Amino acid sequence: MEIQKIAEAILPEMIDTRRYLHMHPEVSFHEKKTYQYILERLSHYPEVTVREGVGGGGLLATIGRAPHPHIAIRADFDGLAIQDQKDVPYKSTVDGVMHACGHDGHTSTLLALLETVNANKDKLKGSISFLFQFAEEVQPGGARAMIADGVLKDIDKIYGQHYWSQYRTGLIKTKPGPIIASPDYFEIKIKGKGGHAARPEDAADPIVIAAELITNLQTIVSRQVAPMDNAVVTIGMVEAGNAFNVIPDTAKLTGTVRTFKQDVKENIRDIFEKEANLTAEKRGASAEIYYQFGYPAVINHEAEAGVIRQAAADLGVEYEEAKPLMIGEDFSYYINERPGSFFFTGSGNHDKLSDFVHHHPKFDLDEEAMLNGLSMFMKILEIEQVIEWKQPSLNN
């Protein structure tokens, strides 16, 4: 298959790019050096139009011979505030920061795709845009700002992918409809009355109230929200007290809610407010609630999800329909504005130690997975009739 030969030819370059980015990660909204690295790479292509500072920190590169069809492909490039614990030559050189989610691979793949498109520019039938997005990991994210700055102007469709360590290398997964949840964030502060541990009757113990509230919140799903509505409530942090024999004045709960439907999201937020206030008040305390709606759920468009399925079939790549994941991803903003779809490219290989979960300090990418990532995007562009492919010389 011509496409796979092209991908194999450029794989060493993709690996080099990915490892450079892996060694030089930057956290969301601070990706200055990464931005400059991508910009410098884009400067090698005189026929590619580059728009800088999109949304404040993104890049848009476009090449084409006709206004339509105009297909966009997006990759993110931010890292995470996690200490890299791998023992590899390309380990992060930045203390406390690493690419623990595969965004280095996403960016490497998109740069390779641009190179292959440029090498086949005489075969272009329309236009292709390459969206290099900052700050996917931290809300409000970079996608919304880039859209507000006009990154989707004149674009007909958009596609994106995520390397996924929990799916084995060689597997492609997507589905029409809901595929990634909306991740909300909450903080609940219980304000009680402190006192001596020996006289709890004189206090309004915020720890006991917090414990009761945790139990109450865990019954929302199944008792007030139907299990079929696919909702998750998780308390990730509990903070209270600093001595074994003192009842503190306050306790704080921090966590996340994951949903797919807007009405379920709003209903859970309302239940949270009522539950927190009532639970605290009946014990002589009060509650302060901060509840932040996260990225919208990723809802794939049916026709474009079908293009991904067809691409995998045409390439002879193993395909499975995905089950919805309760993670978050701001790619949702793009396909709320334009037809498009998002897919997962398996990158988990136990023998290569690349099956650690995302955001783990030993997370790594099976770099062979980038063959499928690049091939899939190339085939999608072919199916969308925006380009044909020939075996290029990748040194031009």
pLDDT given for residue 1 in this prediction: 56
| Alpha-carbon torsion, ordered 47, 48, 49, 51, to 10 deg | -150
pLDDT given for residue 391 in this prediction: 56
**Pairing state between β 340-348 and 171-174:** antiparallel
Tell me, letter by letter, the H, E, C secondary structure of 214-268. HHHHHCHHHHCECHHHCCEEEEEEEEECCCCCEECCEEEEEEEEEECCHHHHHHH
**Pairing state between β 340-348 and 157-168:** parallel
Choose among 142, 57, 143, 163: nearest CA to 100: 163
Distance, in Å, from the CA atom of 286 to the CA atom of 278, rounded to the nearest integer, reads: 9
- SS3 assignment, position 83: coil
Instruction: Give me the residue spans of the domains in the chain.
Output: 2-180+298-383, 182-292
pLDDT given for residue 191 in this prediction: 98
pLDDT given for residue 66 in this prediction: 85
Outline where the chain has alpha helix (H): 2-23, 32-42, 103-119, 143-148, 206-218, 220-223, 262-281, 302-315, 332-337, 369-383
33-51 burial, b for 16+ CB within 10 Å, e for fewer? ebbebbeebbeebeebebe
Domain 182-292, architecture per CATH? 2-Layer Sandwich (3.30)
| Contact (Cβ atoms closer than 8 angstroms) between residue 107 and residue 77 | yes
Taken as a whole, the chain contains a residue count of 396
Q: What residues act catalytically?
A: 78, 136
Q: For domain 2-180+298-383, give the CATH superfamily.
A: Zn peptidases (3.40.630.10)
What are the E-state strand segments in 34-156? 49-54, 58-64, 70-76, 127-133
pLDDT given for residue 362 in this prediction: 98
pLDDT in 10s for each residue of the chain, 396 residues: 589 999 999 999 999 999 999 999 999 999 999 999 999 999 999 999 999 999 999 999 999 988 999 999 999 999 999 999 999 999 999 999 999 999 999 999 999 999 999 999 999 999 999 999 999 999 999 999 999 999 999 999 999 999 999 999 999 999 999 999 999 999 999 999 999 999 999 999 999 999 999 999 999 988 899 888 889 999 999 999 999 999 999 999 999 999 999 999 999 999 999 999 999 999 999 999 999 999 999 999 999 999 999 999 999 999 999 999 999 999 999 999 999 999 999 999 999 999 999 999 999 999 999 999 999 999 999 999 999 987 544 444
| Contact (Cβ atoms closer than 8 angstroms) between residue 362 and residue 85 | yes
